[in-house]
A = this chain, B = another copy of it.
Amino acid sequence: MPDKMRVVQIGLGALGRMLTSYLLDRPQIEIVGAADLDPSLAGRDLGEVSGLGRKLGLAVCDDLRKPFADGPVDVAVLTTVSHLPAANPQIEALIACSTNVISSCEELSYPRLTAPETSAEIDRLARDAGVSVLGTGVNPGFLMDILPTALTAVCREVRKITVLRCQDARPRRLPFQQKIGAGLNLQQFEKKKADGSLRHVGLTESMHLIGSRLGWKLDHTEDIIEPVIAEREVSSDYITVKPGQAAGVYQLGLGYAGDEEKIRLEFRASLGEPDRQDTVIVEGVPDLKFTVPGGINGDVATCSILTNAVPTVIAAPPGLRTMADIPPLSWFSARPLPTGAPC
């Protein structure tokens, strides 16, 4: 059994920088390297880049393979892009370095139906290398897919699943606030919506995870995007929204079996969103309502999940994994380290 779980960070955008201190919290995790494609970061110390106010003695590389040259690595945590076609070359390069991979790439969370060929290839490469690959995060990865799925364990019958995620985006990182269109006028909002750059990525993957576990063949899914229009001026640390501009996004994922709406995922994120909550409603036997009043901060939750996944992914069987086929993640302090690290 290794002394510590050796982790490399790939991607030092806002999420990756935030993640550094989460990983350092855990005495069983050692960060042994970091890389980012941004040449302006090359050679800078990870602690400085991540705003820790202290050096870690780790220079950021601009080649993601480089941190693996110096010795064995248990897990690469990849926080770069949302879309699988862009993440895939990075994932494959990491597998070639014989490391397990945990990624926040939303489209990796349940890619078997949306990207079957890429999924099969990642699965094959990972099995051959004896490593596992997991896409996760708060959403997709937890609140709108594996959590509602797992809650149905107590059900005799399930007819429909509805999830409401309503959050105030003010305490979220800037790229998130930009991604949801905060501060755009409605023309800009529609333009960014049309070019695909304005949306929460992952509702379709979440619906497929739920459908696959519950045995619902989804014949049709929809992903509807509308602006949340500000009624009064509202500001975050980064953005001021005028009345009539978009304060954020309302996004609705609908999954149908035949004509029947089986899955309804309502995602609402805006600056100053009043009715903050995470709620799961199961229509079945029994009817169930689970709620987290106030909701869960997505950045904190995603960094926590990526960190909490480390020992479970090390212990998982090789291949492309999803949150539906590994044991439930949990926070851990001094839990004994997993055996079976690939290196």
Q: What residues of B have a CB within 8 angstroms of the CB of A291 in the complex?
A: 290-293
Q: What string of 1s and 0s marks CB contacts (under 8 Å) between A273-307 and chain B?
A: 00000000000111011111110110011011101
B332 touches A215 (CB 8 A): yes
With a 10 A CB-CB cut-off, give which of A296, A328, A334 has the most chain B CB atoms: A328
A154 vs B323: C-alpha distance in the bound complex, in angstroms?
Answer: 13
- Which of A31-39, A72-80, A109-117, A155-163 makes up part of the contact surface? A155-163
Residue with the highest number of chain B CB atoms closer than 10 Å, among A143, A214, A305: A214
Binds B, one of A96-104, A145-153, A243-251: A145-153
User: Once the chains bind, are A214 and B332 in contact (CB under 8 Å)?
Assistant: yes
Cα of A249 to Cα of B128 in the assembled complex, Å: 55
Q: Does A217 contact B (CB under 8 A)?
A: yes
Centre residue among A153, A291, A332 by max chain B CB count within 10 A: A153
Bound-state Cα–Cα, A327 to B329, Å:
10
Q: Measured between alpha carbons, how far is A305 from B22 in the docked complex, in Å?
A: 34
Binary CB contact string for chain A from 301 to 343 against chain B (1 if under 8 A, 0 otherwise) = 1011101100000000000000011111111111110000000
Interface flag for A7 (CB, 8 Å): no
CA distance A336 to B335 in the complex (A): 34
Chain B residue numbers with a CB within 8 Å of A292 are: 288-291
Q: B330 touching A153 by the CB < 8 A rule?
A: yes
CA distance A80 to B138 in the complex (A): 40
When distances are taken between beta carbons in the complex, the residues of chain B under 8 Å from A284 are 331
Question: Nearest-CB distance from A231 to chain B (Å)?
Answer: 28
Q: Which residue of B lies closest to A21 (CB)?
A: B156
* CB-defined contacts of A146 to chain B, threshold 8 Å: 328
* Whole-angstrom distance between the Cβ of A135 and the nearest chain B Cβ: 15
Complex Cα gap A157–B304 (Å): 9
Q: In the complex, what residues of B have CB within 8 A of residue A155's CB? A: 304, 308, 331
A214 vs B334: C-alpha distance when bound (angstroms): 7
Give complex CA distance A333, B83 in Å: 31
CA distance A305 to B304 in the complex (A): 28
B297 touches A152 (CB 8 A): no
Q: Within 8 Å of chain B (Cβ to Cβ): is A212?
A: yes
Can you name 16 A-B pairs with beta carbons within 8 Å? A142-B153, A147-B150, A150-B328, A150-B329, A152-B330, A155-B304, A155-B308, A158-B333, A213-B330, A214-B330, A215-B332, A215-B336, A217-B334, A285-B300, A286-B300, A290-B290
A-B contact sample (16 more), CB < 8 A, given A217-B334, A290-B290: A138-B154, A142-B154, A143-B154, A149-B330, A150-B329, A150-B330, A152-B330, A153-B330, A155-B331, A214-B330, A214-B332, A215-B332, A215-B334, A285-B300, A288-B296, A291-B293
Top-5 shortest CB links A-B:
A215-B335, A150-B328, A154-B301, A152-B331, A215-B333
